[in-house]
């Protein structure tokens, strides 16, 4: 439900911004800008994606953890896809994800978010059918009692 609401708000915002840009620069120029962002997105996916793939390979070859390179690759993919999607808001966000300085900021925030989620999931106790023995009340059972 929340995804649908975000999607509807996103589309309405994109249409609103496109109308405002059309009023400022004209309808033909607006359409040309929206159409030109599509090949730019494909180019960015190919060029930046290849570069991210090379950095990932270099990190693995050097024996380093490729976490940074994986996040960079994901942000490059997201940026290219956002440029392909028509709209000025998505284009602006896509360019931010493709530019190295803003991508570094996004990568740090994403890494911090993923790390905190991973820690929470790793420390949560699952399995309500087997409660955790917090008070250490477990006792040893004799071997013959186990088979009955």
Residues 87-125 have pLDDT tens digits of 999 999 999 998 889 999 999 888 888 777 766 666 665
pLDDT digits (tens, 9 = 90+) for 32-62: 999 988 898 888 888 888 888 888 889 888 8
User: How far apart, in whole angstroms, are the C-alpha atoms of residue 118 and residue 2?
Assistant: 23
Sign of CA dihedral 87, 90, 93, 98: negative
Tokens of 5: 């609401």
**Angle, vertex CA 4, rays to CA 70 and CA 74, nearest 5:** 10
User: How far apart, in whole angstroms, are the C-alpha atoms of residue 70 and residue 87?
Assistant: 27
Tokens of 93: 């966000």
User: How far apart, in whole angstroms, are the C-alpha atoms of residue 87 and residue 15?
Assistant: 8
Residue 131 has what pLDDT? 57
Mean pLDDT over each residue of the chain, to the nearest integer: 84
51 to 46, 54, 83, 100: CA distances (angstroms): 9, 5, 18, 12
């Amino acid at each position: 439900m929340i995804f649908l609401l975000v999607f509807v708000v996103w589309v309405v915002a994109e249409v609103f911004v496109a109308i405002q840009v059309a009023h400022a620069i004209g309808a033909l120029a607006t359409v040309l800008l929206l159409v030109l962002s599509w090949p730019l997105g494909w180019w960015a996916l190919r060029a930046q994606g290849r570069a991210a793939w090379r950095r990932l390979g270099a990190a693995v070859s050097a024996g380093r953890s490729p976490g940074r390179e994986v996040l960079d690759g994901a942000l490059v993919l997201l940026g290219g896809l956002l440029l392909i999607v028509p709209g000025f808001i998505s284009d602006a966000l896509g360019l931010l994800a493709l530019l190295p300085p803003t991508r570094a900021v996004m990568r740090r925030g994403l890494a911090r978010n993923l790390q905190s989620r991973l820690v929470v999931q790793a420390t949560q106790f699952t399995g309500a059918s087997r409660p955790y023995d917090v008070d250490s009340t477990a006792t040893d059972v004799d071997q013959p009692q186990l088979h009955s």
